[in-house]
């Protein structure tokens, strides 16, 4: 299976989807324990949630599961959140701090290197190529990295997670107009809660590609899964009614980002 799926568009907005894939090669699946094979930590249905919201947007989607290797982690293995609980490049535990691998079957350095070459690198080569292509078209890019997580994960954070979690690495990965526009739409969304640079400040993708001084603006959106799932437990079924209410606000976000990007392009011309 191709580790990445790309749909090219003409908008200055690119959607990154690093965690919606569920493909696990047989030889890796055989090493996962029974609980891990349930793939609970998938960003369930996020690609469906964003589908067709901005018709001309480019999408770059990893097809492999984050238990194979996490496409939103630094390939060096450096932690995104030093001193805080998190999961690694090839995770050994899940979001509840439970082991993923059968006894003695956990990944070693050789496994990690192979998975970087087979999965992580191809995903980021494709994403980098699309950023370069879109930048050539417009002279500006907004990379919007799409994520979701259960609203209750005590190992990772206390209490209930807000519905919209906007991450810009404390303003480093985009210009203020981009952050403020998204924050404003989320804050005004009736019935939803939001935070900027709270528990999730943007993963490696956002931090690696966000170079606003070079015209590449990156932002991560971590959605609480309660906003669009029937239940945050197996089978993690999509709730179409919840999703349609949420999609109104997601569409407004993406359309506003496109508008801001095109205005930046106009200023350069």
Give yes or no for residue 19 having a pLDDT over 60: yes
d(CA 255, CA 244): 16
Please report the pLDDT score of residue 221 as a whole number: 98
Q: pLDDT exceeding 70 applies to what percent of the chain?
A: 98
Does the pLDDT of residue 81 top 90, yes or no? no
Q: Which domain holds residue 15?
A: 4-268
Sequential DSSP letters for 50-118: HTTSSTT-EEEEE-B-TTT--TTS-TT---SSTTS----SS-SB-TTS-B-B-TT----HHHHHHHIII
Return the closest-CA partner of residue 61 out of 105, 126, 13: 126
Q: From 202, 91, 86, select the one nearest 155 (Cα to Cα).
A: 86
Question: If you average pLDDT over every residue of the chain, what do you get?
Answer: 96
Residue 241 confidence (pLDDT) above 90: yes
Quote the DSSP letter at residue 160. Answer: P
Helix (H, G, I), strand (E, B), or coil: what is residue 6? strand
Q: Could you give the CA distance from residue 232 to residue 45 in angstroms, rounded to a whole number?
A: 12
CA 242 to chain centre: 20
Determine the pLDDT at residue 83: 80
Confidence of residue 85 (pLDDT cuts 50, 70, 90): confident
Q: pLDDT value at position 267? A: 63
Look at 76-80, 104-108, 170-174, 181-185 and tell me which has the smallest mean pLDDT. 76-80
Picking from 121, 175, 105, the residue whose alpha carbon sits closest to that of residue 4 is: 121
Domain tally for the chain? 1
Region 222-245: mean pLDDT is: 98
pLDDT tens across 42-63, in order?
999 999 999 999 999 999 999 9
Confidence at residue 266, expressed as pLDDT on a 0 to 100 scale: 58
Q: In the prediction, which pLDDT does 233 show?
A: 95
Contact indicator for 202, 173 with CB cutoff of 8 Å: yes
**pLDDT at residue 268, rounded to an integer:** 61
Q: What tens digit of pLDDT does each residue of 109-162 get?
A: 999 999 999 999 999 999 999 999 999 999 999 999 999 999 999 999 999 999
CB-count burial class (<10 Å; 0-12, 13-18, 19+) for 170: exposed
Q: In degrees rounded to 5, what are phi and psi of residue 262?
A: -65, -30
pTM of the full structure? 0.96
Using CB atoms within 10 A of its CB, is residue 64 exposed (0-12), middle (13-18) or buried (19+)? buried
CATH code, domain carrying 117: 3.40.630.40
What's the average model confidence in pLDDT over 225-244? 98
Report the pLDDT value the prediction gives residue 61, as an integer from 0 to 100.
98
Indicate whether 34 pLDDT > 70.
yes
Q: What is the DSSP letter of 235?
A: T
Give the pLDDT band (50/70/90) at residue 82.
confident
Pairing of strands 141-149, 13-17: parallel
User: Do residues 168 and 201 lie in contact, with contact meaning Cβ atoms separated by under 8 Å?
Assistant: yes
pLDDT of residue 1: 86
Q: Is the pLDDT assigned to residue 261 strictly greater than 80?
A: yes
Residue 41 and residue 67 in contact, taking contact as beta carbons nearer than 8 Å: yes
In this predicted structure, the answer to whether residue 269 has a pLDDT above a threshold of 60 is no
């Amino acid at each position: 299976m191709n580790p990445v799926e790309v749909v090219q568009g003409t908008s200055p907005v690119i959607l990154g989807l690093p965690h919606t894939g569920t493909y696990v090669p047989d030889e890796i699946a055989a090493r996962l324990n029974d609980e891990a094979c349930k793939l609970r930590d998938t960003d369930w249905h996020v690609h469906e949630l964003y589908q067709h919201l901005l018709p001309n947007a480019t999408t770059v989607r990893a097809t492999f599961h984050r238990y194979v290797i996490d496409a939103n982690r630094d390939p060096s293995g450096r932690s995104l959140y030093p001193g805080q609980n998190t999961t690694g490049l090839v995770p050994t535990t899940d979001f509840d701090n439970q082991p993923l691998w059968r006894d003695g079957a956990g990944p070693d350095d050789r496994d990690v290197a192979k998975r970087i070459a087979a999965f992580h690198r191809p995903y980021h080569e494709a994403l980098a190529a699309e950023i370069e292509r879109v930048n050539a078209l417009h002279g500006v890019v907004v990379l919007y990295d799409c994520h979701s997580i259960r609203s209750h994960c005590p190992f990772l954070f206390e209490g209930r997670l807000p519905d919209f979690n906007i991450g810009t690495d404390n303003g480093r990965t985009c210009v203020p107009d981009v952050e403020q526009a998204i924050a404003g739409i989320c804050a005004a969304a009736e019935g939803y809660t939001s935070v900027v640079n709270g528990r999730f400040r943007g993963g490696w993708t956002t931090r690696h590609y966000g170079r606003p001084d070079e015209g590449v603006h990156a932002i991560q959106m971590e959605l609480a899964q309660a906003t669009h799932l029937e239940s945050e437990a197996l089978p993690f079924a999509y709730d179409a009614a919840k999703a349609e209410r949420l999609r109104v606000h997601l569409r407004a976000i993406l359309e506003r980002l496109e508008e801001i990007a095109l205005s930046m392009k106009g200023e350069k011309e």
